[in-house]
Structure 1
Amino acid sequence: MKIKGRGITKGQAHGEILKTNQEISFLGGVDPNTSKITDPNHELLGQKIKNKILVFPGGKGSTVGSYVIYQLKKNNKAPKAIINIETEPIVAVGAVISKIPLIDQINIQKIPNKGKAKINANKGTIETNQNQNQNPEK
């Protein structure tokens, strides 16, 4: 399946999907040393975002979250790419300064909960290896 959105930060990536329907606060919600989600109220608690195609609606919280994304990159713990419904400034700035491919204006319900994705943020395209019908409803 191929999905078209808006490329924010250029680049390409391929990898395993890690998807959530909850927003992510990088400051206090993600450990930049381990890449684990640390927010006790988040459905991805304890999961690592390192080397994943991270799919979530958008960011929330402090603007320092941009620097946490940068720390993740410097610590080799960053996601390979980010996909959002609507990227807000915290995630956008973090992706830009960290050179992480970022695409938004995506209906993330069309992205499977598991599997692999190929991202081309230069063109704003996402290709998944699964059919939309294989995406279970929550």
Structure 2
Amino acid sequence: MEKIVLQGRGVIPGIVEGEALVCADSITGWGGIDPETGVIKDYENVNRGKCIKDTILIMPGSKGSNGWSCYFGAARAAGSAPKGWAFSKIDSSAGVASAVMQIPTVVDFSKEEDPCVRVKTGDFVRLDGTKGTLEILKACSQ
């Protein structure tokens, strides 16, 4: 496999590896996840029923109200949060949630390197919040 490294901007430093969970339509914050289990409950989300725990969560940005950061913060407190996350473009709710979560975070990718398009759910990836990179280490066989 050809090495694929997407360049964004690192926001919260750290390096994590894991399975990608791509939510191209984001996740509604208020009630979109069960913070105790990390399971996506958002009725309109194609990933409904999947768990965010220990994944590298990839989304275009936040979705919904300011409660978004509260739900993800509660997931972290319960031990059901992702290992790290990447946002195509950062917004205020995603920024607050990143500050609360303190997990490696990469944001602001170019349109050509949008992780919501380039990465697939199930890919094994490395997220480097210090360098601002997201590397696909092994593509899933979808």
Match of 2:26 in 1: 23
Give the superposed CA RMSD.
Answer: 1.7
Q: Is the 8 A contact 1:26 1:59 kept in 2?
A: yes
Match of 2:62 in 1: 59
Residue 111 in structure 1 maps to residue 119 in structure 2: yes
Unaligned runs of at least 5 residues, structure 1: none
Q: Is the 8 A contact 1:112 1:130 kept in 2?
A: no
**Which range moves more in the overlay, 44-53 or 113-122?**
113-122
Match of 2:76 in 1: 73
TM-score of the pair, normalised by structure 1: 0.89
* Aligned equivalents of 2:21, 2:48: Cα separation in 1: 12
Residue by residue over 1:54-97, the C-alpha shift from the partner in whole angstroms, topping out at 9 and shown as x without a partner, is: 01111111112111111111100000111111121112111212
1:49 partner SS = coil
Deviation at 1:20, TM superposition (A): 2.1
* Aligned equivalents of 2:78, 2:55: Cα separation in 1: 15
Unaligned runs of at least 5 residues, structure 2: none
Distance 1:36 1:123, change over 3 A: same
Alignment of 1:3-18 (within 5 A): 3-18=6-21
Instruction: Give the ranges of 4+ consecutive aligned residues of structure 1 lying more than 4 Å apart after TM superposition.
Output: none
Q: Is the 8 A contact 1:59 1:91 kept in 2?
A: yes
* Aligned equivalents of 1:86, 1:24: Cα separation in 2: 15
Q: Percent identity?
A: 27
* Aligned equivalents of 1:135, 1:24: Cα separation in 2: 25
**Which range moves more in the overlay, 14-23 or 110-119?**
110-119
Match of 2:88 in 1: 85
Distance 1:129 1:33, change over 3 A: same
Corresponding pairs, count: 134
Match of 2:136 in 1: 128
Residue 37 in structure 1 maps to residue 45 in structure 2: no
